[in-house]
Amino acid sequence: MCGRLSQYRGIHDFVAALSMPNPMVSTLSAEPLRYYNVAPSTRIALLHLEDGVLRADAVRWQWRPHWASDRPPVINARVEKVAHSPYYRAIWPHRAITPVDNWFEWVDVGEPKKQPFLIRRRDGQPILCAAIGQYPAHGEAAQEHDGFVIITADSAGGMVDIHDRRPVVLAPELAREWLDVATPKERAEQMILHQGEPAEIFEWFKVGKAVGNVRNQGAELLLPLT
C-alpha cells in the first residue's frame, strides 16, 4: 500500500456501513468529508470505542512511539509482525477502523511515470480498514504523539499485480468485533491474519496521473481512464 486514499462520504455513511449499535460521539462535520486525495500526515476520520461509545475523530495518519524520535513516522503496520513488535506495543491494544472509499497504487508500466490505479469495493460499500493508534480521550485536546497506522497484508488473487501489500479490510461484523475492547488480543490477531476480505471483492482501474500531486483534489481524480 503506497499511501494515498479517499474519504469523500459523510461520517454517518461510514458509521451506517459499520452498523454498530453503540451510541456515537463525533467531532467531525456531518457534511460529506470530500477528501479525494489524502496523503500521510493528514488528519482523517477514524472510528474507535471508548467506554462503550463509538468515537469518530480526525486523527493524523502516521505514528511513531515517543522513544523513536530519531526515526520517521510510519503509516502502515505489517500484519505479520504488528501484534508482537515492540514498536507497536503501546498501541496494539488500541484498535480502530479507518473507513475509506478507495485507495490508490502506482504501477510501473514501462513509462517515465508510474501509472496510478484506484482500488475500491465492487459493491460500492465503504472499505473498513483495520487500524491501531493513539488518540485523545473524550474532551481532551489532540496531543503531539497522537496518530494511527493502517494494518496491511500480502496482496493475493491478482491484486499483487497492482501492489504486493494492501490494507486488511474487515467485513462489518468482524469490524465490530475488532473494535470491541472485550475481544481478546489473541482473537484480534487471528482476525486480521486470516479473516480479512478477499481480493475478489475489489475492483481496480487506471486513473489520471493528476492524483500524483496531493494538491490536486476533486471527484474527477476518481474517474477511470478511457
Please identify every residue annotated as catalytic: 2, 105
Work out the number of other CB atoms within 10 angstroms of the CB of residue 110: 6
Burial class (CB in 10 A: 0-12, 13-18, 19+), 193: middle
For residue 204, the cross-strand partners are 119
207 neighbors 106 (Cβ within 8 angstroms):
no
Residue with cell string 489524502:
38
Rounded distance between C-alpha atoms, residue 173 and residue 25, angstroms? 20
Cell readout for 197 is 476480505
Long-range contacts (CB closer than 8 Å, 24 or more residues apart) made by 143-146:
145/63, 145/64, 145/65, 145/66, 146/59, 146/60, 146/63
The residue type at 226:
T
Amino acid present at 145: H
One-letter-per-residue 3-state SS of 36-48: EEECCCCEEEEEE
Residue in this structure with the C-alpha cell 504486493, named with its chain if needed: 164
